[in-house]
Chain A
């Protein structure tokens, strides 16, 4: 009796997984525990193991398909056994042994030839002969023959004044396209004329590579469009005096215990403190309701090889600066290594995206729905400030807040930003108040 293998459930929040790569083909023998495929949730990559033993009779999904959890993905049975496929939204059908179970096309081979060589179509003997005669390299000709072949007239089209024997030899040897008129007798092209004309590199301007949108990329794409489609986003930009940040960072660096605390951690810490005072921004907009959270679950946007991931610092309002810094590092590393569990990557109430290390001053972050706001953190730059000592150049850090105007108003966001700017500027005093040296 043929058995179905199901797409396993991944945590409580994952509804579907995208098949990245099949490890087995129809006809392969599998044991329980063999890895059948790798799949991506919207947060991480997982390996799906076989729950049945036997011969693979059919693969029910293709690479790139988004498969709801607990749906059958594979039929395993005895060789030659007949079975029934049941797929949601597809007609039930019976497949007989020997018939290709999934007559779907193999994914198209994507190749990216980059070459300055003549067109793949080659050339006709007459074209080659004329090329030799005139000293016009074949690589210079634009093929017009069938199947991209270079024909005689393609070479003749490039013919200009006659080439001296030396120029001819050199043009062919070096693949240089001779100028139509040279400096010799009657405009004859001499070898020295070739030097002045750099070889035209024949570039196929239509070279491209197609990369299927799948896995995390597909998830990000869907979520970003959904975010922009379903919310009313508005961004505010501001600058915070960064002298306290820099001084604290410099001081922490000296002590081995605190040396891991970065400017990003300090900003996050200030954000969390500010959010506790602005519960409207530590919230989800759910259409019918706005859900405000008692605790701050801070999402930290993390750049990984597979794409953007947002590990969550659950209960960040309960963490000391040191804990927050350490937790951030652990979660970011797990996201980068692709081992973060789906539950670690969902449930944030506010997100911070920090691109300061790239030198970006301000940008408009896209809301991580259903969150009500997201903070973009930029780089630190010197800004002229009028002080009692005249104009001073003071380090400032760029801050960009995008908020969902459905849930909050611009003035609310401005107030939040003002508070955050003040908090960052006076972070040293806050830390002293809370218990000294960032051990809070």
Chain B
């Protein structure tokens, strides 16, 4: 039996970061992975979807570039090649993680982990002992018990990434981030896509204006809002629409993207406190056991890869160092659809709910020189800035348009720094850039110097 300072279960963006950080501190670390380095993010989530979305966007730009003088003929989307590139990307990144683990002297064992108690984990019949345990087992796509949901053409995000040919029509059940990204991908490559969403708007974490604009921007996708799926047959999806009428929609493939559930299997012996299917943690990622921590999707706090990585820092620093605390107010989110949508901080509605008297400014993308030059007058683009009227503190920023994913970290930085309108006005933005929309928006909120 080997003795480790730390055992990490799961090598996703939470687990491998935790292992790497602790290993770099000189701790003896064991990382347990049941399949591939990188978890859902690298293998079945963030990375492969970005690869495929980029292929589709390039295809889409080529097809629709005539207004800027690009006339492409005979272009085609080759799913097989796109999948090869996707797989190459995934495997390269796995290799990168493997290299990182070696550099940090992290040992890895592949297999299903079973926690025996707070200090012992069994993998492939071997028991490993540790002083501290970090659970980073992630989450899995949730398939609701709708009649027919077990039919072979009903896919989750895991399986749809492995398809070998494009369906003629795809029905996406669930209009969250995953559903919208796949809808965007398949519609760009010529698949007839319909999204069925139970709520009144897609992308529930976004300001409602952005959901609406995203639907308009994804003009080839049909969105059926306020609809409840009743049954799935071999050829169709049967649902009740917002008016209560029963509808049937033909579907060759169906993507089930209604949400994800924490993976808490193999942890039963620990007797951890579990609420709503997730491991309960405090702001330093401690579970109900003092030496056991849980980071990433498994604690249900924020199901985003970058949240998991930050939680890894917080947990490792709490175990071995200065004891950081997790802050959730400035975690950016991005939908890598075409166009991209990103946000950080509070929506206008959330700010009002919390009792803020808000200042709000919304601006169109075409106000930016670069946006106009590259996208043209008709392209959808928007920024919305929400600030506290009393203090001037920026509470949240939402973006829709190209580069939103790369601009939003700046919003996270200014929220973390608790900057006010008057402070942001002192920041110099590069010109021309789409990010200048933010600068224009804060001056629109307060034009004084």
Contacts and interface: CB of A to CB of B under 8 A. Distances in A.
Contacts, number: 33
B392 A166 contact: yes
B391 A164 contact: no
Interface in A166-183: 166-167, 169-170, 183
Nearest to A169: B391
B423 interface: yes
A307 interface: no
A173 to B, nearest CB: 9
Contacts of A167: 418
Contacts of A169: 391, 420
B418 A184 contact: yes
A174 to B, nearest CB: 11
Contacts of A188: 417-418
B325 A185 contact: no
B325 A164 contact: no
Give the interface size bracket for B toward A.
10 to 19
B327 A183 contact: yes
The dominant DSSP class at the B interface is loop
A170 B391 contact: yes
B344 to A, nearest CB: 14
Given A183-B325, A183-B327, A166 B391 contact: yes
A169 B391 CA distance: 8
A171 to B, nearest CB: 12
B296 to A, nearest CB: 21
Nearest to A193: B418
A190 B417 CA distance: 8
Contacts of A164: 417-419
Contacts of B422: 165
Interface string B366-387: 0000000000000000000000
A166 B416 contact: no
B391 A184 contact: no
A191 interface: yes
Contacts of B420: 165-166, 169
A168 to B, nearest CB: 10
B391 A191 contact: yes
B393 interface: yes
Interface residues of A, number: 12
Contacts of B327: 183-184
Interface centre among A165, A183, A190 (most CB of B within 10 A): A165
Interface string B325-340: 1010000000000000
A414 B55 CA distance: 111
Interface in A130-171: 164-167, 169-170
Contact of B416 (A165, A170, A184, A191): A184
B426 to A, nearest CB: 10
B373 to A, nearest CB: 34
Interface string B399-427: 00000000000000000111110110000
B418 to A, nearest CB: 3
B418 A166 contact: yes
Nearest to A167: B418
Contacts of A190: 418
A185 B416 CA distance: 7
A164 to B, nearest CB: 3
Contacts of A185: 416-417
Nearest to A182: B418
A184 B417 contact: yes
29 contacts: A164-B417, A164-B418, A164-B419, A165-B417, A165-B419, A165-B420, A165-B422, A165-B423, A166-B391, A166-B393, A166-B418, A166-B419, A166-B420, A167-B418, A169-B391, A169-B420, A183-B325, A183-B327, A184-B327, A184-B417, A184-B418, A185-B416, A185-B417, A188-B417, A188-B418, A190-B418, A191-B391, A191-B393, A191-B418
Closest 8 CB pairs of A and B: A164-B418, A166-B393, A166-B418, A165-B423, A190-B418, A166-B391, A185-B416, A165-B420
Given A164-B417, A185-B416, A188-B417, 9 more contacts: A164-B419, A165-B418, A165-B420, A166-B392, A166-B393, A166-B418, A170-B391, A184-B327, A184-B417
